[in-house]
Amino acid sequence: MDYKISVSIMSGAEDGNMLEYSLMRGDGRKTATGWVLTIGRHDENDIYLRHDLYTSRYHAEIICDRGAWYLRDLDSTNGTFFENPDDYFNERRIYGTHSLTENQLFRIGRTWLQFESIE
Amino acid sequence: MRHFFIGVEHIFVTLLQIHGSIAASVMQECGLTPEYVVNAVRRKISKGGKERTFVDLRRTIRAETILDIAQEIALEAGRREVNERDVLLAILEEGQSVPVRVLAALGLNDTQKLIDMARSYTMNVDSQQPYIRVIYGAEFDVDEPLDRHQLLLLRRMFYGYDRIRIERRLTGGYSDATLVVVTPIDGDNRQHAAIAVKINRVDRIYDEAKRYEQHVKNKLPSMTARIEEKPYVLEASGIAGLKYTLVTGSDRVPRDLRMVLAKWSAYDIGDWLQKQLFPTFGHTWWRQNRPYRFQAWQEYDWLLPPVLTLEYMTEERSEKVAEVTQLKAPIKRTHLRHIACDDVVALSKFEVHRVLPESNTIQLAISQGDGATRAYQIEVRGVDFEGVTYYRREKIELIYGRVLQTRNEELLNALYALQPDFQAEFRTIRIAPDLEIPNPVIAYEKLLDDYVNGSLCTVHGDLHPGNIMIGPNRSAFLIDFAHSREGHTIGDWAMLEISLMSDYIAPLLPDSSWDGLREFVQRLIDLNGDDSLLDDSQPSLSALGVVAQIRQIVAQCLVVPDVWSEYYVALTFCSLRALSWQKTVSVTARRLLFLVAGVALHELNTRFKPLPPPKTPSPDDTEIP
């Protein structure tokens, strides 16, 4: 089976760039129960954020596990954040693995990204 | 912003910064000032890094997309050139960019409505008319109208608008300034964001503007009320005005803490102070404290009445007086002790601290230093300004005056006005069969010379519910910086506690007799000891919860943890200050605050002794064997 997602860059120098990834095309890494895509400033990453110096080289992962989507922070220096519904200007930093919902905005370093899975 | 690319946010900020642009007008119509929106966008995206990762300054993909949309809008309208409205519409229609997300977070999530508003504006409206009409809002008390000069000044300040609506006075100023909320309305009948205007004498306004520059400007949180423009001066009448840009919710009504006192519970108020006000300003103000050792008079004497109040006397008349006491600056306060009512004094070499032509009064000061907080003031009334002119900071050669009252007399008279059922001139007051507290109008004097170990930071200097404003999402901001300075950190909180006692707790008291108040302050003593004793069976007692929460803030600012002496010193003087405000503070509140001062002194005597003057070993003490 194939996995397909799009990640839109929502801020910074690459604002407006929409990136598509699929397992079939050779993106990411297949696991026993799903698929993993890596995010970071190193060019080995699937989602490669070259212009954001607040991004760690290996910053976070988008994971599909048994059909559910997750975001995992890889102990990044400047953090991975979700929008905070209580205070828009103070985002919620996440540690470890958190579930990812459709069209969710999250921040890697200083770059905002939006996640969307494609059926 | 130190970004090496041009994104939608930069385009949007530019649109807002064009004076009178459609983007700025739409924001104002929604009750937000353009500056506020710009700050919000900046806050969301932060500054860029120091190093650039590519050489040229390029546009982001989204910026290109938006400019393409703008081009299409222009073409549809039969134009080749894109104008500011096209760009704004394109940003709103695209709907995914940082600025649109920020607007949604600020409550403007109805993009279609914004688009309609942007479409309806005529561009470059030149609505400048020679005469600006003044209308009054429903909340404005017409029995207390503004005078001709104030209205003229307001017209000057809002030049370019069609008319202004004066919503209401912001009461609560214990100063003599006039504070009003003004909504400017332009020729298209659009209401812009309300602005608070302070009107006062030119020197006071300049003084506040200077304080704002020195102490406040660089220490404000990114989103708060600001003084954006230089003061406006009306030369002929000697008054001037300052604008504080306000941040209001979608209903456009700026609210101060005083307005919500009746609506919020004690817990809500205290919680808001702790979770909004303290963290918002604490970062650059109250938490930036540095050790500061001072004598109580240095920080708090200015809150008390003048040490002497004199009636001006001409030199010829003074020659007929048998005995004239010579007072020549510099002089110690203790030398004034033997001076009594009706004595005639000759003052020389004192510096003029303040000139008040409207009441024919000048204020001199004994202490050195500057600003509003100069200690030991002498007030000279009945000065004839026709004959002589006095300037601030000038040293007077010689002034004669008859003593109208001394400070002790004024305090004692203020206490008599409260009809005490105890001996007003006794050193202590019995408040329970087994409990006597010091009489503050007697005991304060010794306290002035005590040393206080505290901390120093930027303080507001006049923190009360009328100066504390509540913005969107219950955010906190402050106005009125006339007393801002570097000062005793917890003085602000003592002042706030006292004004809440007077404005919030006193009206809730079931029994305003001295007996009732004595019973109530015993609860306060319990609270001083342990806040878990709070009883919420009565509104007045549960209202003490606000005090308990202020104390939790103070606990974080004490220079030595759990040593409250610095706070009780501040509390004593802040409560004594209100004793002579016969016009603005109710009898109940003044009685209560009198007892609060006594309780603070009681705590100082029993639990937290302030430091005696430092004992450095003097050479005489050394015994030579």
Residues A95-113: pLDDT tens digits? 999 999 998 899 998 889 9
B362 contacts: CB under 8 Å, gap ≥ 6: B352, B354, B355, B356, B379, B380, B383, B390
Residue A102 sits in a domain whose CATH number is 2.60.200.20
Residue A95, classified by CB atoms within 10 Å of its CB into exposed (0-12), middle (13-18) or buried (19+), is exposed
Instruction: With respect to residue B623, please indicate whether it lies within any of the assigned structural domains.
Output: no
Beta strands in A1-119 (DSSP E): 4-9, 18-22, 29-30, 34-40, 47-48, 60-65, 68-73, 80-82, 92-94, 97-99, 105-108, 111-117
d(CA B485, CA B497): 19
Per the structure, the count of domains in chain B is 4
d(CA B426, CA B428): 6
- Tell me the residue type at B110: D
**pLDDT of B296 above 50:** yes
Phi, psi of B376, deg, nearest 5: 55, 65
Residues B436 and B506 both lie in one domain: yes
Chain B residues near residue A15 by CB distance under 8 angstroms? 7-8, 60-63, 97-98
Per the structure, the count of domains in chain A is 1
Instruction: Quote the pLDDT of residue B610.
Output: 58
B340: left (phi over 0), alpha (psi -120 to 50) or beta: beta
d(CA B625, CA B621): 12
Q: Is the model more confident about B172 or about B149?
A: B149
Residues B330 and B388 both lie in one domain: yes
Check the CA dihedral B600-B604-B605-B606 and report its sign: positive
pLDDT in tens, B533-547: 555 566 777 788 888
**pLDDT of B625 above 50:** no
**pLDDT of B618 above 60:** no
Residues B84 and B178 both lie in one domain: no
Instruction: Quote the pLDDT of residue B297.
Output: 87
Kindly state the tokens that stand for B18: 């064009």
**pLDDT of B497 above 60:** yes
Instruction: With respect to residue B579, please indicate whether it lies within any of the assigned structural domains.
Output: yes
DSSP SS3 for A115? strand
B137-164 burial, b if ≥16 CB within 10 A, otherwise e? eeebeeeeebeeebeebbbebbeebbbb
**pLDDT of B253 above 90:** no
Instruction: Quote the pLDDT of residue B623.
Output: 45
Instruction: With respect to residue B173, please indicate whether it lies within any of the assigned structural domains.
Output: yes
- The beta-carbon neighbor of B61 closest among A16, A51, A105 is A16
d(CA B413, CA B424): 9
Which of B254, B272, B287 terminates a domain? The answer is B254
Residue B75 sits in a domain whose CATH number is 1.10.1780.10
Residues B159 and B214 both lie in one domain: yes
Which of B95, B120, B145 terminates a domain? The answer is B120
Q: Which of B602, B474, B559, B103 is nearest to B290 (CA)?
A: B559
d(CA A49, CA B114): 33
Contact B579, B411 (CB under 8 A): yes
A4-32 burial, b if ≥16 CB within 10 A, otherwise e? bbebbbbbbbbbbeeeebebeeebbeeee
Contact B165, B135 (CB under 8 A): yes
Instruction: With respect to residue B300, please indicate whether it lies within any of the assigned structural domains.
Output: no
Beta strands in B301-349 (DSSP E): 308-313, 324-328, 344-348
Count CB neighbours of A101 within 10 A: 10
Domain that holds residue B594: 417-449+490-611
Q: What is the dihedral of CA B311, B314, B317, B321, to 10 degrees?
A: 60
CA distance from start to end of chain A: 11
Residues B146 and B108 both lie in one domain: no
Contact A28, A21 (CB under 8 A): yes
Residues B322 and B388 both lie in one domain: yes
pLDDT tier, B493 (very low <50, low <70, confident <90, very high otherwise):
very high
Could you write out the DSSP letters of every residue in B552-602?
HHHHHH-SSTT--HHHHHHHHHHHHHHHT-TTTS-HHHHHHHHHHHHHHHH
Residues B18 and B90 both lie in one domain: yes
pLDDT tier, B249 (very low <50, low <70, confident <90, very high otherwise):
low
pLDDT tier, B621 (very low <50, low <70, confident <90, very high otherwise):
very low
Most confident among A44-53, B166-175, B324-333, B356-365 (mean pLDDT): A44-53
Contact (CB<8Å) B60/A15: yes
Gap from A73 CA to chain B (nearest CA, Å):
21
Instruction: Quote the pLDDT of residue B215.
Output: 82
The answer to which of A63-77, A90-104, B360-374 has the lowest mean pLDDT is B360-374
A16: left (phi over 0), alpha (psi -120 to 50) or beta: left
**pLDDT of A51 above 90:** no
B540: left (phi over 0), alpha (psi -120 to 50) or beta: alpha
Instruction: With respect to residue B268, please indicate whether it lies within any of the assigned structural domains.
Output: no
- The beta-carbon neighbor of B43 closest among A15, A53, A89 is A89
Q: Which of B92, B82, B83 is nearest to B115 (CA)?
A: B92
**pLDDT of B105 above 90:** no
Instruction: Quote the pLDDT of residue B373.
Output: 67
A96 contacts: CB under 8 Å, gap ≥ 6: A72, A73
Contact (CB<8Å) B98/A112: yes
Phi, psi of B383, deg, nearest 5: -75, 135
Residues B501 and B583 both lie in one domain: yes
Task: Identify residues of B whose CB sits under 8 angstroms from chain A CBs.
Answer: 3-5, 7-9, 40, 43-46, 49, 51, 53-54, 58, 60-65, 96-98, 101-102, 105, 473
Gap from A45 CA to chain B (nearest CA, Å):
18
Residues B495 and B598 both lie in one domain: yes
Residue entry with tokens 């519970």:
B265
Instruction: Quote the pLDDT of residue B173.
Output: 52
Instruction: With respect to residue B431, please indicate whether it lies within any of the assigned structural domains.
Output: yes
Contact A76, A56 (CB under 8 A): yes
CA distance from start to end of chain B: 73
d(CA B306, CA B146): 30
Instruction: Quote the pLDDT of residue B172.
Output: 56
**pLDDT of B337 above 90:** no
Check the CA dihedral A36-A40-A46-A47 and report its sign: positive
Chain A residues near residue B49 by CB distance under 8 angstroms? 53-54
| A-interface mutation test, from B37, B41, B62, most A Cβ less than 10 A away | B62
- Tell me the residue type at B615: K
d(CA B516, CA B497): 20
Residues B187 and B229 both lie in one domain: yes
Stretch B467-492: mean pLDDT: 85
Tell me the β-bridge partners of A34: A65
Chain B residues near residue A54 by CB distance under 8 angstroms? 49
Most confident among B156-160, B243-247, B448-452 (mean pLDDT): B448-452
Residues B437 and B556 both lie in one domain: yes
B523-554 burial, b if ≥16 CB within 10 A, otherwise e? bbbebbeeeeebeeeeebbbbbbbbbbbbebb
Residues B27 and B45 both lie in one domain: yes
B78 contacts: CB under 8 Å, gap ≥ 6: none
Which of B211, B227, B254 terminates a domain? The answer is B254
Percent of chain B with pLDDT over 90: 18
Contact B455, B557 (CB under 8 A): yes
Chain B residues near residue A12 by CB distance under 8 angstroms? 5, 7, 45, 60
**pLDDT of B4 above 70:** no
ipTM beyond cut 0.95: no
